[in-house]
Every structure is written in structure tokens, then in C-alpha cells.
């Protein structure tokens, strides 16, 4: 039975699903009906080490870099309009394969070409992030982001992180004004 988290809350995936080795992290949202350009949200993952920065250049996983250097984090592809029910974008994570230097995986969502298209998260409804056990597909934890109208164009949804011997998931739901560039810079990724 999936744990439903509130902002700031966390859950031990290892306790909820003993023997867990791999997860699928799904991000979903509804695109409201708008005139003009499609509403294109992009999921990305920052694979972060002890110093709160990405481990290397390929540790920023997104639609143009679908696999981490170690191969344990894989983005399943870009959904450009939010069409379809269920998860709009999916990231597979092989937890058992991650090296000890990997401390956190931070899941972010950004709006593609937000400035040019004059779009922000205020228009986004039913945004959520969920963690599923790859073996069997059961949903372990979920965070439904009921954010009020917001002017942000980039948001940290949640993170997978190590805590002692366990893997845990924390619901974050915090935005970054200015979008992907400062968000990425925060994790040591230079987008130049």
C-alpha cells in the first residue's frame, strides 16, 4: 500500500519494500488547455555526492543525456505535451548498482522554453512524483504536489537518498525562480 507523503516528509523504501534493488520513478502532470505552444515539462535527475554536487558531467540525467556514466540511472524519454494518463516521464534507477559515493538522486522538473512560451508551474495541475518497485511494479511512495499558482519554472520534486544502510525518499516540492540554470548550478552543473 503506497505511502502518501506531505511536503518535507520522508519514508524508508528499504523498510517498505524489503529486498528492494531497483525502482522506477514516475513524474506526472496534466497540461492545461492553452493556446499556442504545447506544455512541455522535462524530468531530470542530479546524481549527487557527499559535497551536494553532481559526481561528474554525466551525473545530470535528462532528455539529452539519458544514462548516467555508471548506467544505473536511465531516463526513459521525453514526453513533449503531457498527453496520456499515468506517468508522463519515467526514470529507472538500479539502487543496488549505485556506488558508495552516490549519496542522493535529486528529481527535478522544468518547463521547456518557459520564458519564450510565458509558462510557469501555476498552470500545471495534478503534478506528482512516485516511486515504484521495479520488481512487480508496486507503488511504494507518492507525493502529490498541490502547489498554488506559482511563478516558478523549475522545481525539485523529491529525492532518493541514503540513510545508513537504507534508501529513503523525501518529498520536497520546492521551486527555483530563474529555472533550470540556477537549479543546475546549485548542484554544480554548468549548463554553458
Binding residues for another protein, rule: CB under 8 A, are 6-10, 152, 156, 163, 170-172, 174-177, 186
Nearer to another protein, 16 or 87 (CB): 16
The residue among 10 and 134 lying less far from another protein, judged by its C-beta, is 10
Using only the alpha carbons of the chain, give its radius of gyration: 16
The full 3-state SS of 91-102, as one line of letters, equals EEEEHHHCCCCC
94-116 in b/e form (b: 16+ CB < 10 A) is bbeebeeebbbbbbbbbbbebee
Q: How far is the CB of 169 from another protein (least distance, A)?
A: 11
Q: Decide whether 62 or 187 has the Cβ nearer to another protein.
A: 187
Closest approach of another protein to the CB of residue 177, in Å: 5
The CB-of-152 to another protein minimum distance in angstroms stands at: 6
What is the DSSP-derived secondary structure letter of residue 62?
A: B
Cβ proximity to another protein, 35 vs 148, nearer residue: 148
Amino acid at each position: 500500500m503506497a505511502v502518501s507523503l506531505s511536503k518535507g516528509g520522508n519514508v524508508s523504501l528499504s523498510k517498505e519494500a524489503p529486498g528492494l534493488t531497483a525502482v522506477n520513478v514516475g513524474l506526472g502532470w496534466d497540461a492545461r488547455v492553452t493556446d499556442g505552444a504545447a506544455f512541455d515539462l522535462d524530468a531530470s535527475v542530479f546524481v549527487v555526492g557527499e559535497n551536494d554536487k553532481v559526481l561528474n558531467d554525466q551525473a545530470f540525467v535528462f532528455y539529452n543525456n539519458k544514462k548516467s556514466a555508471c548506467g544505473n540511472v536511465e531516463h526513459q524519454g521525453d514526453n513533449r505535451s503531457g498527453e496520456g494518463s499515468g506517468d508522463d516521464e519515467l526514470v529507472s534507477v538500479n539502487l543496488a548498482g549505485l556506488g558508495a559515493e552516490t549519496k542522493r538522486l535529486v528529481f527535478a522538473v522544468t518547463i521547456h522554453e518557459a520564458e519564450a512560451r510565458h509558462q510557469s508551474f501555476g498552470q500545471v495541475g495534478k503534478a506528482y512524483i512516485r516511486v515504484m518497485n521495479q520488481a512487480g511494479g508496486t507503488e511504494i511512495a507518492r507525493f502529490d504536489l498541490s502547489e498554488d499558482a506559482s511563478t516558478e519554472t523549475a522545481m525539485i520534486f523529491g529525492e532518493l537518498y541514503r540513510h545508513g544502510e537504507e534508501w529513503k525518499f523525501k518529498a520536497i516540492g520546492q521551486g527555483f525562480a530563474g529555472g533550470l540554470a540556477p537549479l543546475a548550478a546549485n548542484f554544480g552543473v554548468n549548463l554553458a
